[in-house]
Amino acid sequence: AELAPGLRSAWGSCPFSRGPGRGSPLHLLPSLSARGVLNGVFNGVFSAFSLWPQAEQAHKVAASYKPSKFDKKILLWTGRFKTEDEIPPRIPPEMLDRARNKARVKACYIMIGLSIVACFAVIASAAARHESLTSWNLAKKAKWRQEAALAAESKDK
């Protein structure tokens, strides 16, 4: 598929591409600084030569969600706003989604840290009682041998 003059393929030298005009609208991008246009698309600033105006409008969401008290705490904890007074009465749902995702990641990091601290606490408490996994294993195996010997004696009688 030959491109019209003034247009060039955005697929360039990509070895994994399916080529221009084969399932991707990227070959329609103007040759005027295709890299700048792509960066504009990814930064949401693709208004100068919008080939897909309905896609551009789909990303503009009005602030339509009224945050609850818990949502406001999440927005504050994730650092989106400094004080509760700064939070507007209505926010975009995407803002809250990003804040919730950030809060999930922070909570996971906190749980990982607490798990590591708990592991060291268990190790320290076992060391204080002069116990180790080796001594527990030897004691357990000695008990099993004793039970096996008792079972063998009762079978012989």
- pLDDT score of 120 more than 70: yes
Mean pLDDT of 112-136: 91
pLDDT at 49 over 90: no
pLDDT above 90 as % of the chain = 46
Averaged pLDDT of the chain: 76
Flag the least confident range among 30-34, 137-141, 148-152. Answer: 30-34
Mean pLDDT over 51-73 rounds to 70
Mean pLDDT along residues 131-145: 91
**Per-residue confidence band for 126, with pLDDT thresholds at 50, 70 and 90:** confident
Average pLDDT over residues 120-130: 88
**Residue 65 CB contacts under 8 Å (≥ 6 apart), including other chains:** 90, 91, 92, 93, 96
**Per-position DSSP letters for the chain, written without gaps between them:** -PPPTTB--SSTT-TT---TTSS-GGGGSBSTTHHHHHHHHHHT-TTTT-S-HHHHHHT-----B---HHHHHHHHHTTS-SSGGGS-SSB-HHHHHHHHHHHHHHHHHHHHHHHHHHHHHHHHHHHHTT--HHHHHHHHHHHHHHHHHHHHHHHH-
Burial class from Cβ neighbours inside 10 Å (0-12, 13-18, 19+) for residue 10 reads buried
Which tokens sit at 155? 């079978």
Judged against a pLDDT cut of 90, whether residue 112 lies above it is answered with: yes
